[in-house]
């Protein structure tokens, strides 16, 4: 029963982390980002709109949804506790419920993102900023992630492929080796595409400052690389548990994976607020030798 109690403890952490701590971090992050923008700039972006009041309305809805999700998680935990007390409980239904609950946990942030996009489309004026100092500085992957971490992600992929090939010599029932390799390859390709788009793609938001853009790139690139490492580690651990006939530890491992995924997504929210002096705007003194005057 130790695997069941370990899962209960981790599932409680999943509820608290994703429906309690994550919303708190996100709320502070959103308020901090708004406070870092001068009032004149907010008035330019959203004329006639009380951005603070709109933001608080969004955040109130967000907190309410997360409270509801947390209550649902407690109810689910009670049902799982009763089910897993039975000697014949199976890990499959538990994993399915944990996955479903994780999807429910990410719904509030998805809804807030959708509302924010709608708000921007309705209120943000379709205007271009005037001329501003654009810093032309070539940036690569290693400017945001250390080579050792990138090497670990690449090594993890090849070790995963080797591990799958090893299992194929004497596969356990239901093992789909080529599908596993294909799925992991797809994860790496998609994350690589995200990294490439962030590093070399066009600036999606013309109102974003240079410092803000660099910070966003760093957050997305780090999250993508660490996500690859986390996926390889989790799937490999899952296969190992099956080989060792410890399938009942899989719900615990799955909940750990979801908590780690949530922590990866809040890395950028933990950094200190960016001041308006970091925006690289306005004066000639803030322009570095590598900077040139370009229209936005």
Mean pLDDT along residues 97-118 = 86
Please answer whether residues 279 and 135 qualify as being in contact, where contact means their C-beta atoms are separated by less than 8 angstroms: no
Q: 71 and 155 share a domain?
A: no
Question: 187-214, pLDDT tens digit by residue?
Answer: 999 999 988 888 887 765 555 666 767 7
Residue 18 forms part of a structural domain: yes
CA distance 10 to 4: 10
Residue 106 forms part of a structural domain: yes
Question: 238-268, pLDDT tens digit by residue?
Answer: 899 988 888 889 999 999 988 888 887 766 5
Q: 76 and 144 share a domain?
A: no
Mean pLDDT along residues 148-155 = 93
Per-residue CA distances from 215 to 218, 220, 269 (Å): 5, 9, 11
Q: What is the chain's mean pLDDT, rounded?
A: 80
Residue 73 clears pLDDT 90, i.e. is over it: yes
Residue 204 forms part of a structural domain: yes
pLDDT at 267: 64
pTM above 0.75, yes or no: no
Residue 169 forms part of a structural domain: yes
Residue 277 forms part of a structural domain: no
Q: 186 and 148 share a domain?
A: yes
pLDDT at 26: 85
3-state secondary structure of 146: coil
Q: 189 and 86 share a domain?
A: no
Q: 27 and 89 share a domain?
A: yes
Q: 176 and 209 share a domain?
A: yes
Owning domain of residue 33: 1-126
Residue 89 forms part of a structural domain: yes
| Domains identified in the chain, total number | 2
């Amino acid at each position: 029963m130790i695997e069941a109690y370990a899962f209960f403890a981790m599932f409680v952490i999943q509820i608290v982390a994703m429906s309690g701590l994550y919303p708190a971090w996100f709320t502070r992050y959103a308020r901090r980002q708004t406070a870092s923008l001068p009032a004149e700039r907010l008035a330019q972006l959203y004329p006639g709109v009380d951005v603070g009041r709109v933001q608080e309305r969004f955040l109130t809805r967000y907190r309410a949804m997360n409270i509801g999700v947390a209550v649902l998680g407690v109810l689910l935990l009670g049902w799982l506790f009763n089910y897993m007390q039975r000697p014949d409980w199976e890990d499959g239904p538990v994993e399915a419920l944990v996955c479903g609950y994780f999807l429910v946990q990410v719904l509030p942030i998805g809804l807030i993102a959708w509302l924010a996009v709608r708000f921007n489309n309705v209120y943000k004026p379709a205007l271009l900023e005037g001329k501003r100092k654009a810093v032309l500085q070539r940036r690569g992957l290693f400017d945001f992630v250390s080579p050792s971490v990138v090497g670990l992600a690449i090594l993890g992929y090849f070790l995963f492929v080797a591990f799958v090939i090893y299992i194929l010599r004497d596969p356990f029932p239901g093992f789909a080796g080529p599908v596993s390799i294909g799925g992991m390859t797809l994860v790496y390709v998609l994350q690589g595409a995200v990294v490439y788009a962030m590093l070399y793609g066009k600036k999606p938001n013309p109102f974003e400052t240079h410092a803000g853009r660099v910070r966003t790139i760093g957050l997305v690139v780090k999250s993508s690389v660490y996500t690859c490492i986390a996926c390889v580690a989790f799937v490999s651990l899952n296969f190992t548990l099956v080989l060792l006939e410890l399938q009942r530890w899989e719900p615990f491992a799955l909940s750990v994976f979801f908590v780690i995924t949530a922590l990866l997504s809040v890395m950028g929210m933990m950094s200190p607020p960016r001041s308006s002096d970091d925006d690289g705007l306005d004066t000639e003194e803030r322009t570095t030798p590598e900077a040139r005057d370009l229209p936005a």
